[in-house]
Chain A
Amino acid sequence: MNLRRDVFQAIADPTRRAILLLVASQAMTAGAIAANFNTARPTVSKHLQILTECELLKQEQNGREIYYHSNAKKMKEIADFIEPFRQMWDDRFNKLETIMKNYQPKK
């Protein structure tokens, strides 16, 4: 699995979550987004690239500028569907791992 395209990997990062919040209400250029962070511009670009690759952000060309806006459909998909289901399995598997680490074979 290509990690970069993994939506959950994408939203696991705090900066990327902040970017998603920023563009939730309005489309923004990469420059405008970067201005909100104390991070180097290329780092923000990298985050934007990851978010775009997993379709959480959509790019829109407006004249010379590229605007980023959030893909509501994809966001809703995560919120409504998969995340609770994923967490349920994650919790189950975490438990499985803990139990089996302490497992003593019966004699």
Chain B
Amino acid sequence: MELKTKINAEEGQQYLTITREFDLPLELLFKAHVEPEIVEQWMGTKVLKLEGKKHGGWQFETTDAKGNVVFRANGVIHEFVLNQKITRTFEMENSPFAVQLEFLEFEQLTDSTSKINMHIVYKSIAHRNQMLQLPFAQGLNMAHNRLQNVVSKLK
């Protein structure tokens, strides 16, 4: 089994990196991060706002079957360079987790393959470890009741 997505979370550091190579041209990989209807599909959340530009903002929201909001996050886009990089903040609303800073770098490998490198900086080492300990559902199709549990524990 080959692990496509790699995470490097060094001990004693307040950041981590996520890297992944895609069997996709660079342009499509980048597009998947800026087109709201595409982001909605792979992130499994509703996109309320996504402004792909410097000083732009974004907001995602996930609701359960009854329409209750179980997850909402937002942030600001600091850097936006087409097919190269996005620098943004990420903040989970109604949670004790501090805002985090995300550096997304997009790289062309060949005409048909590309790579993303996400460097995420947390407020402290403790914040990073707490975030990793969140009982994340195994995948995008997060069972809503599980997410509900996570969010209600945070309140």
Contact = CB atoms under 8 A, between A and B. Distances in A.
A85 B7 contact: yes
A92 B28 contact: no
A43 to B, nearest CB: 19
Interface of A: 1, 6, 8-9, 12, 77, 80-82, 84-97, 99-101, 103
Given A82-B132, A88-B139, A99-B41, A93 B4 contact: yes
A84 B135 contact: yes
A51 to B, nearest CB: 16
A91 B41 contact: no
Given A1-B8, A85-B7, A87-B138, 15 more contacts: A6-B3, A8-B3, A8-B6, A12-B3, A80-B133, A82-B9, A85-B136, A89-B20, A92-B140, A93-B22, A93-B42, A95-B42, A96-B38, A97-B24, A99-B41
Contact of B2 (A12, A81, A103): A12
Contacts, number: 91
Interface residues of B, number: 36
Contacts of A103: 28, 31, 38
B65 interface: no
A92 B140 CA distance: 6
Nearest to B7: A86
Contacts of B7: 8, 82, 85-86, 89
A37 B141 CA distance: 39
A85 B139 contact: no
Contacts of B4: 90, 93-94
Interface of B: 1-9, 11, 18-20, 22-24, 28-29, 31-32, 38, 41-44, 116, 129, 132-133, 135-141
B8 A92 contact: no
B11 A77 contact: yes
Contacts of B44: 92, 95
B6 A1 contact: yes
Contact of A91 (B19, B22, B133, B138): B138
A93 B6 contact: no
Contacts of A89: 5, 7, 18, 20
Which 9 pairs between the two chains have the least Cβ-Cβ distance? Answer: A91-B139, A90-B5, A96-B42, A95-B42, A81-B132, A100-B28, A86-B7, A88-B136, A8-B3
